[in-house]
Amino acid sequence: MSISGFIGQLFAIVLALALAPLLTGWVNQCRAWLQSRSAPPLLQPYYMLHKLFQKDVVLAHNASSLFRTAPFVIFACMLLACAIIPSLSTDLPFAPAADTLALVGVFGLARIFISLAAMDIGTSFGSLGGRREMLVGFLAEPALLMVIFTTAMISQSTSVATIVETLAHRDFIIYPSLAFAGIAFTMVSLAENARVPVDNPATHLELTMIHEAMILEYSGRHLALIEWAASLKLYAYSCLGLALFFPWGIAEKDNFLGLIGAIPLLLGKLAVGGFALALIETVNAKMRIFRAPEFLGTAFLLAVLGLLVRLLLETRV
């Protein structure tokens, strides 16, 4: 483990913690602009977190220890994901801890804990949200895995760092398979991050909510951790998407200047990505929950098509 790698790793984690709420704020602001509402301040998520950390925790009488530990587990999972995904540099000492498949597992672990915690109190909304979350999750996961298989086939490795290095170093080749995978990944990210076509993060309308229904019982620092974890998840998915499909400018081993240069580039890419997300959320309407399988089925289909097209067109026998 080199010193520069260690610094890069530390830096990536700190940046993820600091930037994630900003990304959420930016998306909310873009959404407000596009819908010609007056936008909340860019730093609103930070104020929110600050306020929630100050407040006392109110627990239900029948809350078990699972309910109390879940926010920490979820937060840790998301932080680990942010540490593994190369946002600034591919030289990450933590990266061997989990390849892309294990990364999907880390997201899955967080999902299981948030669903269990939602059902722990026994309110109807919690169970409803938990069940819906599992429905969305079990449909989104195979699609995400297929996307990852496509990129792994191009780079002959399932390690995130190797995939990104291979993709960043290739000659200019049009990969139709990557285009398919990119669309599928966007659809999966929308579903996983509780965004508009599948879930609306700004609503507390009982019939439609998924993510909000699960965290209704949380308060104080628990809620703050979950909100922060949700921001980190959005950040992690954005960074994963950028690393897989727009990998240019990510620094490599022993390249300290590249690390510095990668920061403004990452900020720029995230700003554009956040705007694109807000645009998608504005032009789409939230669909009925029973349409979600169709939506995610399409994502799975696209990912499988990408894999097949990769096999047919891009390998020469």
CA distance 104 to 88: 20
C-beta of 139: minimal distance to another protein in Å? Answer: 10
* Residues of the chain by 3-state class (helix, strand, coil), percent to 5: 70, 0, 25
C-beta of 13: minimal distance to another protein in Å? Answer: 34
User: Which residue blocks in 246-291 are alpha helix, DSSP H?
Assistant: 256-283
Q: Is residue 60 a contact residue for another protein (CB under 8 A)?
A: no
Supply 313's token pair: 């067109």
CA distance 46 to 20: 10
CA distance 162 to 156: 9
Q: Is residue 311 a contact residue for another protein (CB under 8 A)?
A: yes
Residue closer to another protein (CB basis): 174 or 257: 174
Q: Is residue 305 a contact residue for another protein (CB under 8 A)?
A: yes
Residue closer to another protein (CB basis): 252 or 314: 314
3, 207, 283, 317: residue in contact with another protein (rule CB under 8 A)? 317
Residue closer to another protein (CB basis): 277 or 302: 302
Q: Where would I find the beta strands (DSSP E) of the chain?
A: none
Q: Is residue 58 a contact residue for another protein (CB under 8 A)?
A: no
50, 51, 55, 170: residue in contact with another protein (rule CB under 8 A)? 170
Q: Which of 290, 133, 289 is nearest to 208 (CA)?
A: 289
Residue closer to another protein (CB basis): 254 or 314: 314
Residue closer to another protein (CB basis): 279 or 312: 312
32, 76, 179, 263: residue in contact with another protein (rule CB under 8 A)? 179
Q: Judged by CB under 8 A, which stretch of 45-53, 167-175, 195-203, 250-258 contacts another protein? A: 167-175
2 Cβ contact partners less than 8 Å away, ≥ 6 residues apart = 91, 253, 254
36, 56, 171, 290: residue in contact with another protein (rule CB under 8 A)? 171
**Residue 154 burial (C-beta neighbours within 10 Å; 0-12, 13-18, 19+):** buried
Q: Which of 231, 37, 214 is nearest to 113 (CA)?
A: 214
The H or E element spanning position 8 is helix 3-34
Residue closer to another protein (CB basis): 264 or 297: 297
The H or E element spanning position 195 is none
C-beta of 69: minimal distance to another protein in Å? Answer: 37
153 Cβ contact partners less than 8 Å away, ≥ 6 residues apart = 307, 310, 311
Print the binding letters for residues 282-301 with another protein: x by CB under 8 A, - otherwise: -----------xx--xx--x
C-beta of 119: minimal distance to another protein in Å? Answer: 27
C-beta of 114: minimal distance to another protein in Å? Answer: 26
Rg (CA), the chain: 19
Residue closer to another protein (CB basis): 14 or 312: 312
Residue closer to another protein (CB basis): 216 or 301: 301
**Residue 290 burial (C-beta neighbours within 10 Å; 0-12, 13-18, 19+):** exposed
1, 3, 173, 207: residue in contact with another protein (rule CB under 8 A)? 173
Judged by CB under 8 A, the number of residues near another protein is: 26
Where along the sequence are the contacts to another protein (CB under 8 A)?
170-171, 173-177, 179-180, 293-294, 297-298, 301-302, 304-305, 308-309, 311-317
